[in-house]
Amino acid sequence: MPATLILPLLGLALAAALWAAATLLLANETPILANFAPAEAFRALSRLAVDPVMWDHVGVSLQRVAIGLAAALAIGVPAGILTGVSRVFAQTTTPLFQFLRMISPLSWMPIAVMVLGVGDAPVYFLLAFAAVWPILLNTAAGVAQLDRNWLMLARSLSATRAETLFRVVLPGIVAHILSGVRLAIGIIWIILVPAEMLGVSAGLGYFILDARDRLAYPELMAAILVIGALGFLLDYGARWLYQHWLHKG
Amino acid sequence: MNAPQPLAPPPGTDAAPETVLGAERLSFAYARSGPVFADVSLGIRRREIVCLLGGSGCGKSTLLRVLAGLETAAAGTVRFLGQPLTRPHPRSALVFQQASLLPWLNVFDNAGFGLGFKHQPAIDAAARKARVREALAAVGLAGREHAWPAELSGGQAQRVALARALAREPELLFADEPFSALDAITRAEMQALLVDVVHRWQAAVLLVTHDIDEAILVADRILLMAGKPGHIHRAWTLSIPHPREDHPEAVTALRLQILSALRAGNAATAPHAIPS
């Protein structure tokens, strides 16, 4: 085993031991808490791992992440470029964006459901609304930090506006966009579970509430483990993309 | 040898086929900081290396940008191959002080970056590849096509920038202090390389520099810029054979001439330097 893995694994093992000790102690007072012990959770997890219904829930959640992220990119990147290029646009929108950014996206939930109806649409809206800010702000910062010499080079080649945008500006800000994406994925993943607790009938957030209602506490704990693990993997993937791009630069 | 030249090209040189670039009575001013240079006329012939020499702030870089079509003059005309210049000409190429390579493209794609834009003659993919390969080989980077800019030294990066310019098969290469960010040894190598490749590519060069030795080592003609607003104070045509390091007496004599002309130029225009 690589030496760099020893300490992280030790940390995880310690956390599991604490978890086991806590459920053991508390179960003396409240017997139902024995259901939340790690042994129960991992047994449920191994059962759920081969259950297609569970995979459906995971698939639905990941699809929502993808759609929310795509919408945030489609809005955040052009708006970020506009902010970086146009002083007027930046000055007009900065206070508004800073204001909107600080509102927890879940605050919009009642309005989103009233306007968009029950179902997937309000969830997409909340995820995109939460994720658009880090992408927008990072894109704008990327444009502001573009090497002036690259733009001069494009001018010396008589590049058209479109050529400058697609061959110099966009590739030049990919690293910034990717670090925005990494932040966005983190936010989306945190917003996703509570957003899925309202008005939808699939997804990991729904599964948590459903497990609670069925009194299937080991499954509830297993779902928490799945949420943590998937979030870890998503973040790892985003970081890999970022470093893979920077490796060239 | 080294005889002072008339300041303006003889009348009609613009139209002559031997002239790549002709400028007549150019002036340029920034709205805030006032005039940069005034009444500059010059001509660059085919395959000629012209050095625009001057101290910092004399307007030589701005003049290069106007001649390259990156800025528009307040007065005067620029003609490239006889045609009035409205934007950077497809048969010209630029090299800056910074290599300005694009970090997301490898060496080969950086060297080919100047090709395939809309405002220039279309060439097919095979011809484009051949040009880039040839240019990279000429600057000594054959075999490094797949390297990334981050893996290159400053001198190697500037070689890629030179290859990027050569791949355009320019009639005229504009170079704005291209070697001033390099260490002395690399700079000497690059100066020799520049002379070698532009002769092979049969390109003319307008090299802006503040380095008197660089101008003496590479130029066919030196234009000394001085004053505020800047103007061409004196000019020399050089006939010292290459490599010029082998002719120290001629080089030293010219160096002293340039230094005294520089002093005279600054003294003569000193009163104008006081802001009104």
Quick one: pLDDT at residue B272? 45
The amino acid at residue A102 is: M
pLDDT tier at B268 (50, 70, 90 boundaries)? low
pLDDT tier at A233 (50, 70, 90 boundaries)? very high
Q: Which chain B residue lies closest to A170 (C-alpha atoms)?
A: B104
Task: List CB contacts (< 8 A) between A153 and chain B.
Answer: 94, 96, 100, 113
Kindly report the nearest CA distance between residue A189 and chain B, in angstroms.
30
The amino acid at residue B153 is: S
Contact B96 A153 (CB under 8 A): yes
Kindly report the nearest CA distance between residue A118 and chain B, in angstroms.
44
Kindly report the nearest CA distance between residue B276 and chain A, in angstroms.
32
Quick one: pLDDT at residue B176? 94
**Cα–Cα distances in Å, from A9 out to A3, A6, A18, A45, A223?**
10, 5, 14, 19, 21
Q: Is B79 helix (H, G, I), strand (E, B) or coil?
A: strand
pLDDT tens sequence across B45-56: 999 999 999 988
Contact A248 B100 (CB under 8 A): no
- φ/ψ of B47, rounded to 5, equals 60, 20
- Whose CA is closest to A128, among A203, A185, A56, A60? A185
B98 touches chain A (CB under 8 A): yes
pLDDT tens sequence across B110-131: 999 989 888 888 888 999 999 9
Q: Closest partner residue to A153 among B90, B100, B120, by Cβ?
A: B100
Residue A244 gets the label, from left (phi > 0), alpha (psi -120 to 50) or beta, of: alpha
Q: Closest partner residue to B117 among A159, A171, A174, by Cβ?
A: A159
Kindly report the nearest CA distance between residue A135 and chain B, in angstroms.
20
pLDDT tier at B271 (50, 70, 90 boundaries)? very low
Contact B36, B29 (CB under 8 A): yes
Q: What's the mean per-residue pLDDT of chain B?
A: 87
Flag the least confident range among A81-85, A224-228, B2-6: B2-6
CA gap B42, B66 in Å, rounded: 13
- Listed in sequence order, the DSSP H helices in chain B are 60-67, 107-111, 125-138, 154-166, 184-201, 212-218, 248-268
With residue A227 as reference, give the H or E element that holds it.
helix A217-248
Quick one: pLDDT at residue B1? 46
* Predicted confidence (pLDDT) at residue A1 exceeds the cutoff of 70: no
* Predicted confidence (pLDDT) at residue A3 exceeds the cutoff of 80: no
* Predicted confidence (pLDDT) at residue B11 exceeds the cutoff of 50: no
For B207-241, the DSSP string reads EEES-HHHHHHH-SEEEEEETTTBEEEEEEE--PP
Flag the least confident range among B139-148, B191-200, B257-266: B257-266
Quick one: pLDDT at residue B12? 44
- Whose CA is closest to A37, among A49, A26, A51? A26
Quick one: pLDDT at residue B258? 93
Tokens of A119: 């179902």
CA gap B182, A186 in Å, rounded: 44
* Predicted confidence (pLDDT) at residue A245 exceeds the cutoff of 60: yes
Q: Rounded to two decimals, what is the model's pTM? A: 0.78
Q: Which residues contact A66 (CB under 8 A, 6 or more apart)?
A: none
Task: List CB contacts (< 8 A) between A155 and chain B.
Answer: 70, 88
Contact B118 A174 (CB under 8 A): no
pLDDT tens sequence across B249-260: 999 999 999 999
Please state the ipTM of this predicted complex: 0.82
Does domain B1-89+204-276 fall under CATH 3.30.420.10? My reply is no
pLDDT tier at B267 (50, 70, 90 boundaries)? low
**Cα–Cα distances in Å, from B272 out to B61, B227, B231, B275?**
20, 8, 12, 7
pLDDT tens sequence across A125-151: 999 999 999 999 999 999 999 999 999
Mutate to test the interface with B, among A150, A153, A163, A166 (most CBs of B within 10 A): A153
With residue A46 as reference, give the H or E element that holds it.
helix A38-49
Q: Closest partner residue to A248 among B70, B98, B148, by Cβ?
A: B148
Task: List CB contacts (< 8 A) between A167 and chain B.
Answer: 113
Cis-peptide, bond into residue B229, ω within 30° of zero? yes
Kindly report the nearest CA distance between residue A112 and chain B, in angstroms.
41
Q: Which residues contact A37 (CB under 8 A, 6 or more apart)?
A: A19, A20, A23, A24, A27
Where are chain B's structural domains? 1-89+204-276
Contact B103 A248 (CB under 8 A): yes
Q: What's the start-to-end Cα distance of chain A, in Å?
A: 31
Quick one: pLDDT at residue A28? 87
Mutate to test the interface with B, among A158, A168, A173, A178 (most CBs of B within 10 A): A158
With residue A222 as reference, give the H or E element that holds it.
helix A217-248
Q: Which chain B residue lies closest to A155 (C-alpha atoms)?
A: B70
Helices A170-195, A120-144: crossing angle, 10 deg rounding: 150
Q: Which residues contact A49 (CB under 8 A, 6 or more apart)?
A: none
Residues of A within an 8 Å Cβ radius of B: 147, 149-150, 152-153, 155-160, 163, 167-168, 171-172, 174, 245, 248-249
> What is the percent of chain A with per-residue pLDDT over 90, rounded to a whole number?
71
The length of chain A is 249
Q: Average pLDDT in the A161-171 region?
A: 92
Query: How buried is A194 (Cβ within 10 angstroms: 0-12 exposed, 13-18 middle, 19+ buried)?
Result: middle
- 3-state class percentages of chain A: helix first, strand second, coil last, to nearest 5: 85, 0, 15
Q: What's the mean per-residue pLDDT of chain A?
A: 91
pLDDT tier at A249 (50, 70, 90 boundaries)? very low
pLDDT tier at B149 (50, 70, 90 boundaries)? very high
Please, what's the b/e burial string for A199-210 (b: 16 or more CB within 10 A of its CB; e: otherwise)?
bbebbbbbbbeb
Kindly report the nearest CA distance between residue B107 and chain A, in angstroms.
11
* Predicted confidence (pLDDT) at residue A177 exceeds the cutoff of 90: yes
Q: Which chain B residue lies closest to A151 (C-alpha atoms)?
A: B100
Q: Which chain A residue lies closest to B97 (C-alpha atoms)?
A: A149
Q: Average pLDDT in the A59-67 region?
A: 94
pLDDT tier at B136 (50, 70, 90 boundaries)? very high
Kindly report the nearest CA distance between residue B66 and chain A, in angstroms.
11
DSSP state of A117: -
Flag the least confident range among A56-70, B2-16, B151-165: B2-16
- Whose CA is closest to B155, among B141, B168, B167? B141
Pairing of strands B231-237, B221-226: antiparallel
CA gap B113, A154 in Å, rounded: 10
Quick one: pLDDT at residue A247? 66
The amino acid at residue B237 is: T
The length of chain B is 276
Kindly report the nearest CA distance between residue A55 and chain B, in angstroms.
38
B181 touches chain A (CB under 8 A): no
pLDDT tier at B228 (50, 70, 90 boundaries)? confident
Torsion of CA B160, B164, B170, B172, to 10 degrees: -60
Q: Closest partner residue to A147 among B100, B113, B118, by Cβ?
A: B100
Query: How buried is A171 (Cβ within 10 angstroms: 0-12 exposed, 13-18 middle, 19+ buried)?
Result: middle
Q: Closest partner residue to B114 among A150, A157, A160, by Cβ?
A: A157
Look at the block and give the residue holding tokens 């509830």.
A220
Contact A157 B87 (CB under 8 A): no
Partner A, chain B 62-91, Cβ-Cβ below 8 Å: 68, 70, 87-88, 90
